[in-house]
Structure 1
């Protein structure tokens, strides 16, 4: 798994420093990129990953991509913030391979890292804190940086990696409680590579030289989700990404993530995302 992390790529979307009041109140926000911020003054609150967080000075907070969240400020607070795409390879996410905390105490150097990140990315601040506006604008401007300095791109990647590392829980995930010592991470790679094809538990078990029952138990022991549920989630996450970052038709998106039946794709998407693919694209990208 650590070998896979050598391929981790972090691509910045926005970064800045914000002074926010009680107008900073939004519900059911979702973005295709990771959000990370450091509160410096005042307090606010947020709810995501089925947890309530009191956003307080001196702490870093992490919101994974494609995670529904709500947040608000009763009076006033200030924060450094950044948003970025993360990908290891073949469309995999680091959140599939590592366990994370979502609130950690900031180190003194983290303030300096954010200051530097803002300094070398001066044109990437959020001009409107309304997520319906800034998520759309961030996606439209992604990859456009006319004044980019190559060395700053490398430095930005390094700073984002350091900040993200604060949240990683360092546990050994290479083995499973049921006694299977193989590397199930190769299955994650296989699934990511073949999302546009039919994937069955039997084929995955054969790929690992295990019986279907043994494979399913081992997979659940490691990832705390069944193989079929995991495949569904990855298909929907990839579909959300394509809907927000490309102009592919709904049919093309469905095919790209392994759905030949549009009706079934729409039903499953709504089950996981709370709305149909068409409504999701329209509501998330409206300015």
Structure 2
């Protein structure tokens, strides 16, 4: 699995330190980028992945991309924050391959890392802590790397520091434990799916691509990923649709076709089944100010 990690791409979006009070109170936030908080004073609470996290000093917290989350602060807390895009090969995330923990005890070097990131990236502080303007600003950038205009040495050091901080949340055991010949086959099928979301993808086509029988492929996929291939494909299509809904003005019909749904009504039904919202409601809630 580490061979895929070598293709990890990181793109910093925001970094800074904030003093927050009861106005830091938002629900049903979903971002197409990862967020990392290091609490230095006070407390707050956060919900995601069906878990409640009490944010406390000297701990760091990770929020994966495309995960609904809510957070609130009753009185006051201070935090370092970092948000970044991460991608392994086209369309894959670290979370696809590795088990993640979402809370870790900070160590003495972590505060130094955050301060160094702020020194290297002095113009990436969030001016408005309200989530929707942050997300809209990021997604309407013509180029995600538009904010990276500094020297190559700064860029490389920034990549290194983010890698170190992210590594603290990656468990040693792979999210997908692969044995034998299926290792390479199931690795490459994830990449194939990510690259071909706009085209018809069937279990038969995937099994042939891997050189396995349909039954063997399906059993292996369920064992390794914990879900049927068709459900995985749908989840990746809906994640891609979420990004398009936030970053483009394309019609729902066009977006449905772009992510492999030829029937707009079926696209809406699957979208609501996975996200709890219709595509139109999702766009209105998360894009419009």
TM bucket normalised to smaller? over 0.9
Match of 1:148 among 147, 150, 155: 150
Residue matched to 1:224: 226
What is the distance in 1 between the residues matched to 2:59 and 2:162? 16
Residue 271 of structure 2 corresponds to 269
Alpha carbons 1:180, 1:218 under 8 Å: kept: no
Aligned to 2:56: 56
CA contact (8 A) 1:37 1:60 kept: yes
Contact 1:39/1:56, CA 8 A, preserved across alignment: yes
Which segments of 5 or more consecutive residues in structure 1 lack a partner in the other structure? none
Gaps of 5+ in 2: none
Asked if the contact 1:174/1:181 (under 8 Å) is kept, the reply is no
| Residue 180 of structure 1: how far off its partner (Å) | 7.0
Q: Residue 175 of structure 1 is aligned with which of 178, 185, 189? A: 178
Match of 1:243 in 2: 245
**Relative to 1, partners in 2 of residues 1:26 and 1:278: Cα closer, same or farther, differing over 3 Å?**
same
CA distance in 1: counterparts of 2:254 and 2:101, whole angstroms = 36
Check 1:22–1:7 CA distance in 2 against 1; reply closer, same or farther (3 A cut): same
Q: Out of 23-32 and 148-157, give the one that drifted further.
A: 148-157
Identify which of 208, 220, 223 aligns with 1:206: 208
What's the offset of the Cα at 1:270?
1.8
Between the aligned partners of 1:217 and 1:111, the Cα distance in structure 2 is 45
Distance 2:98 2:149 in 1: 34
- Aligned-residue Cα RMSD (Å) equals 1.8
User: What residue number does 1:81 align with?
Assistant: 81
Contact 2:41 2:77 in 1 (8 A): yes
- C-alpha spacing 1:96/1:79, structure 2 compared with 1 (3 Å): same
Pairing of 1:113-192 with structure 2 (within 5 A): 113-141=113-141, 142-145=144-147, 148-172=150-174, 173-175=176-178, 181-183=182-184, 184-192=186-194
Instruction: Please tell me whether the aligned partners of residues 40 and 77 of structure 2 are also in contact (alpha carbons under 8 angstroms).
Output: yes
Q: How far is the alpha carbon of 1:146 from its aligned partner? A: 7.6
TM-score of the pair, normalised by structure 2: 0.93
TM-score by length of 1: 0.93
Cα distance between partner residues in 2 of 1:146 and 1:220? 40
Aligned partner of 1:196 among 190, 195, 198: 198
- For residues 67 and 264 of structure 2, the distance between their equivalents in structure 1, rounded to whole angstroms, comes to 24
